[in-house]
Amino acid sequence: MGSEDVEFLHSGLLSQIKKWGTKWSLWPVHLVTACCGVELAHAYACGYDAERIGSLNYGICRQTNLIIVEGAITRKMAKVLRITWEQMPNPKFVIVMGACGLKGGLFWNSYHMVRPSEVVPVDYFVPGCPPTPEALIRAIVQLQDKIITGEAKNSAEFKEVDLGKLLGVVKEAKPKKPPKSPKKVEPKPEIVIDKAKEVEWEFGQKLVEELQRELVGLFDSITITDVNRICIRVKPDKLLSVASTLADRFDHVKSVNVIDVPHENKFIVEYVLSSYSIKELMPVLINLATEIPRNDPKVPSLAGIFPSADYMEREMHELFGVWFEGNPWMGRNFLLSPDTPKCPLRKDFKLEEDKYVLEG
Ligand code: SF4
Protein backbone atom coordinates (compact mmCIF):
# COMPACT_ATOMS: atom_id res chain seq x y z
CA MET A 1 0.00 0.00 0.00
CA GLY A 2 1.31 3.45 -0.88
CA SER A 3 1.15 6.47 1.43
CA GLU A 4 -1.92 7.76 -0.44
CA ASP A 5 -3.76 4.53 0.31
CA VAL A 6 -2.83 4.81 3.97
CA GLU A 7 -4.06 8.41 3.98
CA PHE A 8 -7.33 7.27 2.39
CA LEU A 9 -7.70 4.70 5.13
CA HIS A 10 -7.26 7.38 7.78
CA SER A 11 -9.41 10.11 6.29
CA GLY A 12 -11.45 8.67 3.42
CA LEU A 13 -14.70 6.78 3.39
CA LEU A 14 -13.13 3.71 4.92
CA SER A 15 -11.88 5.65 7.92
CA GLN A 16 -15.30 5.49 9.59
CA ILE A 17 -15.31 1.72 9.29
CA LYS A 18 -11.75 1.60 10.59
CA LYS A 19 -12.64 3.78 13.58
CA TRP A 20 -15.75 1.73 14.27
CA GLY A 21 -13.68 -1.46 14.16
CA THR A 22 -11.05 -0.02 16.51
CA LYS A 23 -13.67 1.27 18.90
CA TRP A 24 -15.18 -2.16 19.39
CA SER A 25 -11.90 -4.03 19.50
CA LEU A 26 -9.92 -2.48 22.32
CA TRP A 27 -7.77 -5.33 23.48
CA PRO A 28 -5.65 -4.53 26.51
CA VAL A 29 -2.39 -6.38 26.95
CA HIS A 30 -1.98 -8.26 30.22
CA LEU A 31 0.44 -6.11 32.18
CA VAL A 32 -0.42 -6.32 35.86
CA THR A 33 1.90 -3.90 37.61
CA ALA A 34 0.33 -3.46 41.04
CA CYS A 35 -2.74 -3.97 43.23
CA CYS A 36 -5.02 -1.97 40.91
CA GLY A 37 -4.87 -5.11 38.77
CA VAL A 38 -7.46 -6.67 41.06
CA GLU A 39 -9.97 -3.99 40.05
CA LEU A 40 -9.14 -4.56 36.41
CA ALA A 41 -9.81 -8.27 36.92
CA HIS A 42 -13.11 -7.29 38.51
CA ALA A 43 -14.01 -5.09 35.53
CA TYR A 44 -13.41 -7.97 33.14
CA ALA A 45 -15.03 -10.68 35.27
CA CYS A 46 -18.65 -11.75 34.85
CA GLY A 47 -20.12 -8.99 37.10
CA TYR A 48 -19.11 -6.06 34.87
CA ASP A 49 -18.05 -8.06 31.85
CA ALA A 50 -16.03 -5.46 29.92
CA GLU A 51 -16.08 -7.81 26.95
CA ARG A 52 -19.60 -6.61 26.20
CA ILE A 53 -18.05 -3.29 25.10
CA GLY A 54 -15.60 -5.06 22.86
CA SER A 55 -12.67 -5.03 25.25
CA LEU A 56 -10.90 -8.31 25.80
CA ASN A 57 -7.64 -8.92 27.63
CA TYR A 58 -5.06 -10.51 25.44
CA GLY A 59 -1.77 -12.22 26.22
CA ILE A 60 0.46 -11.16 23.33
CA CYS A 61 1.32 -7.49 23.00
CA ARG A 62 1.72 -7.64 19.19
CA GLN A 63 -1.99 -8.32 18.87
CA THR A 64 -3.19 -5.68 21.32
CA ASN A 65 -3.92 -1.99 21.00
CA LEU A 66 -4.46 -0.84 24.58
CA ILE A 67 -2.31 -0.81 27.69
CA ILE A 68 -4.05 -0.37 31.01
CA VAL A 69 -1.30 0.54 33.47
CA GLU A 70 -2.52 -0.84 36.76
CA GLY A 71 -1.14 1.47 39.41
CA ALA A 72 2.50 1.80 40.41
CA ILE A 73 5.30 1.67 37.88
CA THR A 74 8.77 1.08 39.26
CA ARG A 75 12.03 1.87 37.47
CA LYS A 76 12.39 -1.75 36.39
CA MET A 77 8.79 -2.02 35.25
CA ALA A 78 9.02 1.25 33.32
CA LYS A 79 11.35 -0.45 30.86
CA VAL A 80 8.91 -3.33 30.43
CA LEU A 81 6.06 -0.86 29.88
CA ARG A 82 8.00 0.95 27.16
CA ILE A 83 9.09 -2.26 25.41
CA THR A 84 5.52 -3.59 25.49
CA TRP A 85 4.14 -0.32 24.12
CA GLU A 86 6.71 -0.23 21.33
CA GLN A 87 5.80 -3.73 20.22
CA MET A 88 2.12 -2.93 19.85
CA PRO A 89 0.83 -2.03 16.39
CA ASN A 90 -0.75 1.37 15.70
CA PRO A 91 -3.24 2.74 16.55
CA LYS A 92 -2.53 2.14 20.23
CA PHE A 93 -3.79 3.70 23.43
CA VAL A 94 -2.84 3.96 27.08
CA ILE A 95 -5.09 4.20 30.13
CA VAL A 96 -3.42 4.69 33.52
CA MET A 97 -5.42 3.71 36.56
CA GLY A 98 -4.74 4.44 40.21
CA ALA A 99 -3.20 7.21 42.28
CA CYS A 100 0.20 5.53 41.99
CA GLY A 101 0.12 5.88 38.22
CA LEU A 102 -0.81 9.54 38.41
CA LYS A 103 1.73 10.94 40.87
CA GLY A 104 3.09 8.05 42.86
CA GLY A 105 0.11 7.65 45.21
CA LEU A 106 1.16 6.26 48.55
CA PHE A 107 4.67 5.74 47.15
CA TRP A 108 4.93 9.43 46.31
CA ASN A 109 8.52 10.69 46.07
CA SER A 110 9.87 7.21 46.57
CA TYR A 111 13.20 6.18 45.04
CA HIS A 112 11.78 3.55 42.70
CA MET A 113 8.65 5.27 41.33
CA VAL A 114 8.28 6.43 37.75
CA ARG A 115 5.28 8.23 36.31
CA PRO A 116 3.85 6.25 33.40
CA SER A 117 3.25 9.53 31.54
CA GLU A 118 7.04 9.97 31.39
CA VAL A 119 7.37 6.62 29.63
CA VAL A 120 4.40 6.38 27.24
CA PRO A 121 1.77 8.82 25.96
CA VAL A 122 -1.30 8.48 28.16
CA ASP A 123 -4.84 8.91 26.82
CA TYR A 124 -6.79 8.64 30.08
CA PHE A 125 -6.04 8.69 33.77
CA VAL A 126 -8.44 7.00 36.16
CA PRO A 127 -8.00 8.40 39.69
CA GLY A 128 -8.60 6.45 42.90
CA CYS A 129 -6.80 4.02 45.14
CA PRO A 130 -7.85 1.74 43.68
CA PRO A 131 -10.33 3.09 41.11
CA THR A 132 -13.56 1.14 40.93
CA PRO A 133 -14.27 -1.21 38.03
CA GLU A 134 -17.02 1.22 36.96
CA ALA A 135 -14.44 4.03 36.72
CA LEU A 136 -12.19 1.90 34.57
CA ILE A 137 -15.04 0.91 32.27
CA ARG A 138 -16.01 4.58 31.99
CA ALA A 139 -12.46 5.38 30.88
CA ILE A 140 -12.67 2.67 28.22
CA VAL A 141 -16.00 4.07 27.01
CA GLN A 142 -14.51 7.58 26.91
CA LEU A 143 -11.58 6.24 24.94
CA GLN A 144 -14.04 4.69 22.48
CA ASP A 145 -15.67 8.12 22.07
CA LYS A 146 -12.26 9.66 21.50
CA ILE A 147 -11.53 7.09 18.80
CA ILE A 148 -14.77 7.96 16.98
CA THR A 149 -14.74 11.74 17.44
CA GLY A 150 -11.02 12.31 17.81
CA GLU A 151 -11.71 14.42 20.90
CA ALA A 152 -10.87 13.79 24.51
CA LYS A 153 -13.54 14.71 27.03
CA ASN A 154 -13.68 14.64 30.78
CA SER A 155 -15.09 11.35 31.87
CA ALA A 156 -17.51 13.19 34.16
CA GLU A 157 -18.85 16.71 34.21
CA PHE A 158 -19.05 18.26 37.66
CA LYS A 159 -21.24 21.17 38.56
CA GLU A 160 -19.58 23.78 40.73
CA VAL A 161 -21.43 23.99 44.01
CA ASP A 162 -21.01 26.64 46.67
CA LEU A 163 -20.94 24.37 49.70
CA GLY A 164 -20.98 27.27 52.17
CA LYS A 165 -24.18 28.58 50.64
CA LEU A 166 -25.69 25.15 50.45
CA LEU A 167 -25.02 24.41 54.12
CA GLY A 168 -25.79 27.94 55.28
CA VAL A 169 -22.23 28.46 56.50
CA VAL A 170 -20.17 31.27 55.09
CA LYS A 171 -16.48 30.72 55.63
CA GLU A 172 -13.55 32.72 54.47
CA ALA A 173 -11.64 30.83 51.87
CA LYS A 174 -8.40 29.47 53.29
CA PRO A 175 -5.29 30.04 51.25
CA LYS A 176 -4.06 26.91 49.54
CA LYS A 177 -0.94 25.33 50.97
CA PRO A 178 1.42 23.04 49.15
CA PRO A 179 1.67 19.51 50.58
CA LYS A 180 4.54 18.94 52.96
CA SER A 181 7.17 16.33 52.36
CA PRO A 182 6.26 13.03 54.04
CA LYS A 183 9.91 12.43 54.83
CA LYS A 184 10.49 13.04 58.50
CA VAL A 185 13.50 11.57 60.23
CA GLU A 186 13.38 11.31 63.99
CA PRO A 187 16.74 12.69 65.17
CA LYS A 188 17.24 10.11 67.91
CA PRO A 189 14.91 7.16 67.54
CA GLU A 190 15.07 4.51 70.22
CA ILE A 191 16.20 1.26 68.62
CA VAL A 192 15.64 -1.65 70.96
CA ILE A 193 15.91 -5.13 69.60
CA ASP A 194 16.68 -7.22 72.67
CA LYS A 195 14.68 -5.69 75.47
CA ALA A 196 14.03 -8.41 78.07
CA LYS A 197 10.41 -9.04 79.00
CA GLU A 198 8.87 -10.80 81.98
CA VAL A 199 7.40 -13.76 80.17
CA GLU A 200 6.32 -17.14 81.40
CA TRP A 201 8.01 -19.50 79.02
CA GLU A 202 9.58 -22.45 80.78
CA PHE A 203 10.85 -24.09 77.60
CA GLY A 204 12.48 -20.80 76.62
CA GLN A 205 14.29 -20.45 79.98
CA LYS A 206 15.78 -23.92 79.57
CA LEU A 207 16.70 -23.19 75.95
CA VAL A 208 18.47 -19.97 76.92
CA GLU A 209 20.47 -21.76 79.64
CA GLU A 210 21.41 -24.42 77.11
CA LEU A 211 22.48 -21.79 74.55
CA GLN A 212 24.49 -19.90 77.17
CA ARG A 213 26.44 -23.09 77.93
CA GLU A 214 27.01 -23.93 74.28
CA LEU A 215 27.98 -20.46 73.13
CA VAL A 216 30.14 -19.53 76.10
CA GLY A 217 32.67 -16.83 75.14
CA LEU A 218 30.95 -16.20 71.80
CA PHE A 219 27.98 -13.98 72.65
CA ASP A 220 27.37 -10.58 74.28
CA SER A 221 23.86 -11.33 75.54
CA ILE A 222 21.07 -13.87 75.16
CA THR A 223 17.64 -12.49 76.03
CA ILE A 224 14.06 -13.72 75.92
CA THR A 225 12.17 -10.90 74.24
CA ASP A 226 8.77 -12.63 74.15
CA VAL A 227 7.25 -16.09 74.08
CA ASN A 228 9.08 -18.03 71.34
CA ARG A 229 11.44 -15.10 70.73
CA ILE A 230 15.11 -15.08 71.74
CA CYS A 231 17.68 -12.44 70.83
CA ILE A 232 21.37 -13.32 70.71
CA ARG A 233 23.73 -10.39 70.37
CA VAL A 234 27.24 -11.09 69.13
CA LYS A 235 30.29 -9.20 67.87
CA PRO A 236 30.69 -9.35 64.06
CA ASP A 237 33.80 -11.57 64.31
CA LYS A 238 31.83 -14.15 66.32
CA LEU A 239 28.83 -14.24 63.98
CA LEU A 240 30.04 -17.17 61.87
CA SER A 241 30.98 -19.33 64.88
CA VAL A 242 27.64 -18.72 66.60
CA ALA A 243 25.70 -19.38 63.37
CA SER A 244 27.55 -22.67 62.75
CA THR A 245 26.87 -23.80 66.32
CA LEU A 246 23.16 -23.04 65.98
CA ALA A 247 22.79 -24.44 62.46
CA ASP A 248 22.20 -28.07 63.43
CA ARG A 249 18.94 -27.14 65.21
CA PHE A 250 18.01 -23.78 63.71
CA ASP A 251 18.46 -24.84 60.13
CA HIS A 252 17.32 -21.87 58.05
CA VAL A 253 17.18 -18.09 57.93
CA LYS A 254 13.70 -16.60 57.67
CA SER A 255 14.81 -13.03 57.10
CA VAL A 256 17.83 -10.76 57.07
CA ASN A 257 17.25 -7.20 58.19
CA VAL A 258 19.35 -4.10 58.54
CA ILE A 259 18.42 -1.32 60.94
CA ASP A 260 20.02 2.03 60.24
CA VAL A 261 20.97 4.01 63.36
CA PRO A 262 22.67 7.10 61.91
CA HIS A 263 22.95 9.07 65.17
CA GLU A 264 25.08 6.26 66.62
CA ASN A 265 26.91 5.72 63.32
CA LYS A 266 25.97 2.05 63.17
CA PHE A 267 23.90 -0.56 61.41
CA ILE A 268 22.28 -3.41 63.29
CA VAL A 269 22.29 -6.51 61.09
CA GLU A 270 19.94 -9.25 62.21
CA TYR A 271 19.31 -12.77 61.01
CA VAL A 272 16.07 -14.43 62.07
CA LEU A 273 16.68 -18.16 62.44
CA SER A 274 14.12 -20.90 62.77
CA SER A 275 13.87 -24.67 62.62
CA TYR A 276 12.22 -26.95 60.10
CA SER A 277 13.75 -30.15 61.47
CA ILE A 278 12.96 -30.19 65.23
CA LYS A 279 9.28 -30.08 66.07
CA GLU A 280 9.45 -28.32 69.46
CA LEU A 281 11.77 -25.64 68.04
CA MET A 282 9.56 -24.83 65.07
CA PRO A 283 7.68 -21.95 66.74
CA VAL A 284 10.90 -20.44 68.12
CA LEU A 285 12.55 -17.51 66.34
CA ILE A 286 16.16 -16.66 67.14
CA ASN A 287 17.16 -13.10 66.39
CA LEU A 288 20.91 -13.22 65.82
CA ALA A 289 22.07 -9.60 65.82
CA THR A 290 25.32 -7.76 65.43
CA GLU A 291 26.38 -4.13 65.07
CA ILE A 292 28.72 -2.77 62.44
CA PRO A 293 30.04 0.75 61.80
CA ARG A 294 28.00 2.72 59.33
CA ASN A 295 31.02 4.17 57.53
CA ASP A 296 32.57 0.72 56.89
CA PRO A 297 29.60 -1.64 56.93
CA LYS A 298 31.12 -5.10 56.55
CA VAL A 299 29.84 -8.30 58.09
CA PRO A 300 30.54 -11.98 57.35
CA SER A 301 27.96 -13.60 55.10
CA LEU A 302 25.97 -16.49 56.53
CA ALA A 303 24.85 -17.67 53.08
CA GLY A 304 27.40 -20.52 53.21
CA ILE A 305 25.71 -21.88 56.35
CA PHE A 306 22.11 -20.92 55.55
CA PRO A 307 21.45 -20.88 51.78
CA SER A 308 18.15 -19.05 52.41
CA ALA A 309 20.13 -16.02 53.62
CA ASP A 310 21.71 -15.46 50.20
CA TYR A 311 18.83 -13.70 48.45
CA MET A 312 18.09 -11.45 51.44
CA GLU A 313 21.75 -10.51 51.95
CA ARG A 314 21.80 -9.36 48.33
CA GLU A 315 18.70 -7.25 48.95
CA MET A 316 20.18 -5.65 52.07
CA HIS A 317 23.41 -4.99 50.18
CA GLU A 318 21.62 -3.00 47.52
CA LEU A 319 19.20 -1.21 49.82
CA PHE A 320 21.67 -0.27 52.59
CA GLY A 321 25.15 -0.80 51.11
CA VAL A 322 26.11 -3.42 53.73
CA TRP A 323 28.90 -5.66 52.41
CA PHE A 324 28.34 -9.32 53.31
CA GLU A 325 31.86 -10.72 53.06
CA GLY A 326 31.90 -14.05 51.26
CA ASN A 327 28.66 -13.57 49.37
CA PRO A 328 29.70 -13.60 45.67
CA TRP A 329 26.88 -11.21 44.73
CA MET A 330 28.40 -8.22 46.49
CA GLY A 331 28.95 -5.25 44.19
CA ARG A 332 26.61 -6.66 41.55
CA ASN A 333 23.19 -5.40 40.58
CA PHE A 334 20.43 -7.82 41.53
CA LEU A 335 17.20 -6.32 42.72
CA LEU A 336 17.05 -2.68 41.74
CA SER A 337 17.13 -1.17 38.32
CA PRO A 338 20.74 -0.10 37.55
CA ASP A 339 19.75 3.59 37.45
CA THR A 340 18.32 3.52 41.01
CA PRO A 341 20.16 5.85 43.39
CA LYS A 342 22.53 3.98 45.70
CA CYS A 343 21.42 2.73 49.15
CA PRO A 344 17.86 4.11 49.00
CA LEU A 345 16.78 2.73 52.39
CA ARG A 346 19.45 4.52 54.39
CA LYS A 347 17.84 7.07 56.67
CA ASP A 348 19.75 9.99 55.21
CA PHE A 349 18.74 9.12 51.64
CA LYS A 350 16.68 11.87 50.14
CA LEU A 351 15.30 12.32 46.68
CA GLU A 352 15.03 15.67 45.06
CA GLU A 353 11.51 16.63 46.03
CA ASP A 354 8.73 17.84 43.83
CA LYS A 355 8.50 21.59 43.73
CA TYR A 356 5.10 23.17 44.11
CA VAL A 357 4.35 26.63 42.90
CA LEU A 358 1.39 28.50 44.30
CA GLU A 359 -0.57 30.58 41.92
CA GLY A 360 -2.11 33.84 42.98
S1 SF4 B 1 -3.42 3.24 43.38
FE2 SF4 B 1 -3.77 2.09 45.26
S3 SF4 B 1 -4.62 0.15 44.56
FE4 SF4 B 1 -3.64 1.12 42.79
S5 SF4 B 1 -1.55 0.35 42.72
FE6 SF4 B 1 -1.50 2.22 43.91
S7 SF4 B 1 -1.74 1.52 46.02
FE8 SF4 B 1 -2.40 -0.16 44.72
| Residue scoring higher pLDDT (220 or 172) | 220
pLDDT digits (tens, 9 = 90+) for 229-288: 999 999 999 999 999 999 999 999 999 999 999 888 999 999 999 999 999 999 999 999
Percent of the chain with pLDDT over 90: 52
Q: Give residue 186's pLDDT band: very low, low, confident or very high (50, 70, 90).
A: low
Q: Give residue 330's pLDDT band: very low, low, confident or very high (50, 70, 90).
A: very high
Pocket test for ligand 1, best of 106, 113, 114, 136 (most atoms within 8 A of CB): 106
What stretches of 106-241 adopt beta strand conformation (E)? Answer: 124-126, 221-226, 229-233
Which class does domain 202-325 fall in?
Answer: alpha beta
Q: What dotted CATH number matches 15-149? A: 3.40.50.12280
15-149 matches 202-325 in fold: no
Q: Is the CB of 36 under 6 A from ligand 1?
A: yes
Q: Please determine, for residue 97, whether its predicted confidence score (pLDDT) is greater than 90.
A: yes
**Which range, of 47-51, 106-110, 143-147, 224-228, averages the lowest pLDDT?**
106-110
Q: Give residue 107's pLDDT band: very low, low, confident or very high (50, 70, 90).
A: confident
Highest-confidence segment of 13-17, 89-93, 151-155, 158-162? 89-93
**Average of per-residue pLDDT values in the chain:** 86
At residue 48, the pLDDT reads 92
Taking the C-alpha atoms of residue 269 and residue 324, their distance in angstroms, rounded to an integer, is 10
Q: Is the CB of 68 under 6 A from ligand 1?
A: no
Cα end-to-end span (Å), the chain: 55
Give the domain ranges of the chain: 15-149, 202-325
Taking the C-alpha atoms of residue 312 and residue 272, their distance in angstroms, rounded to an integer, is 11
| Residue scoring higher pLDDT (67 or 334) | 67
Sequence-ordered list of residues with C-beta below 8 angstroms from that of 83, at least 6 positions apart, any chain: none
How would you class 265 by CB atoms within 10 Å of its CB: exposed for 0-12, middle for 13-18, buried for 19 or more?
exposed
Strands 266-274 and 285-293: antiparallel
Q: Is the CB of 35 under 6 A from ligand 1?
A: yes
At residue 155, the pLDDT reads 47
Percent of the chain with pLDDT over 70: 83
Alpha carbon of 347 to ligand 1 centroid (Å)? 25
At residue 149, the pLDDT reads 83
Q: Give residue 311's pLDDT band: very low, low, confident or very high (50, 70, 90).
A: very high
